[in-house]
Amino acid sequence: MIPSKASPHPPEGGGDSAQFTRSMGVVETLSLGFTYLSPLGAVAALMPLGLTTAGPPSIWWLVIAAAGQMLVALVFGEVVSQYPITGGIYPWARRLWGPRYAWLAAWIYLCALIVTITSLSYFAAPFVGRLFGFTPTTVQTFLIAVGLLLLAMVFNLSGTRTLGTVVRIGFYAEIVGVIFCGLYLLIFQRHNSPSVFFDTMGAGGDAPYYRTFLLAALTGLYLFYGFEACGDVAEEVKNPGRAIPKAMILTVVTGLFSAGLAFIGFILAAPNLPDIVSGKVPDPVSAILEATVGPVGTKIFLVVALTAFISCTLSLEAALSRLIFAFARDDMLPGSRKLSTLSAQGAPRAAMLVGCAAPTLLCVWVLVEPDSLPRVTSFAVCGIYMCFQMVAFAALRMRLKGWRPGGSWSLGRAGIAVNVAALVYGVSAMLVLIRPGDASLAFVDRWSVLIGLGVVLVSGALYMAVARPWRRSTAPSGDALEAAERARAARDSVPTARTEPASVDS
């Protein structure tokens, strides 16, 4: 078992022996990634965008994004198998390249996670309103968002076992809400032919359709990340070198299956699909449910959707707190001593509090400046994709130096081809995401993704230049080649042993 104390700072309240508890198996780890990915929330949020932007063919972005992200998940699987260390993106980038590279990747990821958690909590507010029959005001939306953040924090503070239990409940709720709803609509409420998935229905007007189709990319690109959260809790997973790669792959597969089924079911059941595509129906999901399953069925769906929102927020806060903990454990943040401590129960409580406080502060900003939420949110997806590609690029760079992943899960000779393909996909997705918006928009709104990335990159680079946090850190870095060789040597010397690689010291 990997001790939680990789820095000179002893875990608070637990003494030197405090460590994470390995209580999560493949199902719990899959549940964490799946609820982070949250197909139910993504379909409810993004299906209207896809339909009004590019019509029913926007569904093909689910397939494109799932195929591309599967390549990234395979690369991550090899890395996490060699380095099953809490924090995910940060320790992977550090061990594949170095502390400065890792600091910048983790800073971008941290900012993107904070924004993602904030936007998710705000998006849950209308569902609460629909369930209880009111339209939330600006203040009510703020209170609902903060309440959701605090509820997720309470569950997180309860420990790893509670985290595993709650995300499993959320996983089952997502499965029931997405798959069974999709199946019911597909079997009993179908009003349209499958041919509509090849019919643009006039979306985009006279503009070339490929441009219109690219504008709907968010339909899939926003959905298919979250699998990396399986690696964020690596030190809380049993046999992580094998369990986490499996959980990552299953997250992408189940995400595509469930989201695709729901997307198909809703579209084929829509009695007024041309009106939805033209934008005449402001809330397509509710309209389709009301017309097909009635008020009672709609209420049930809303309850399941809110359960999914709670578990998704919990998963996101868990990922953020583990990132903060891993960052601080290597003495790379202000207040690292406090943030890198574990309680006697193995919970990074200080990091969890920060993981809730940061999105709450952003909620306050959105309350004061309501129009700012779309602007700050716009960079989040591209920011996370950038972090993914920083890890994929670091892995490819190390492969070209002769690195053969030394974990218990490996792609073998296919590794370098998959790595190159993952990088090509990721860079292409980023180029799609940073494309400017409609020319009629204000400059800030048109270039909001690029501006957001610029702000995060510049602020991170300035902090690095002034504070130079890597100088305080003595944790290992850039040792992937040597660590893989040590791991293989250790396994060769004891062929029957079923242990994690010797190189996973954090």
Give 289's pLDDT tier (boundaries 50, 70, 90): confident
What architecture is the 15-365+374-493 domain classified under in CATH?
Answer: Up-down Bundle (1.20)
Taking a C-beta distance cutoff of 8 angstroms, is the pair 254, 30 a contact?
Answer: yes
The answer, yes or no, to whether residue 179 has pLDDT greater than 80, is no
The answer, yes or no, to whether residue 98 has pLDDT greater than 80, is yes
Nearest-CA neighbor of 449 among 168, 162, 26, 112? 112
Residue listed under structure tokens 């009510």: 140
Please report, rounded to a whole number, the percentage of residues in the chain having pLDDT higher than 90: 41
Mean pLDDT of the chain: 86
Please give the single-letter amino acid code of residue 463: Y
Higher pLDDT, 311 or 109: 109
CA-CA distance, 338 to 333, in Å (whole number)?
Answer: 10
The answer, yes or no, to whether residue 15 has pLDDT greater than 60, is no
Instruction: Please give the structure tokens belonging to residue 26.
Output: 């493949």
- Using a 10 angstrom Cβ sphere, with 0-12 exposed, 13-18 middle and 19 or more buried, the burial of residue 493 is exposed
Give 13's pLDDT tier (boundaries 50, 70, 90): very low
Give 2's pLDDT tier (boundaries 50, 70, 90): very low
How far is C-alpha 379 from the geometric centre of its chain's CA atoms? 14
The pLDDT score that the predictor gives to residue 4 is: 38
Residue listed under structure tokens 């996370």: 384
Helix (H, G, I), strand (E, B) or coil at 76: helix
The pLDDT score that the predictor gives to residue 494 is: 63
Instruction: Please give the structure tokens belonging to residue 216.
Output: 């709907």
pTM above 0.75, yes or no: yes
CA-CA distance, 343 to 361, in Å (whole number)?
Answer: 25
Name the least confident of 142-151, 267-276, 298-307, 349-358: 298-307
Domain boundary assignment for the chain? 15-365+374-493
How far is C-alpha 343 from the geometric centre of its chain's CA atoms? 26
Cβ atoms within 10 A of the Cβ of 280, count? Answer: 10
Secondary structure letter of residue 57 according to DSSP: G
The pLDDT score that the predictor gives to residue 18 is: 59
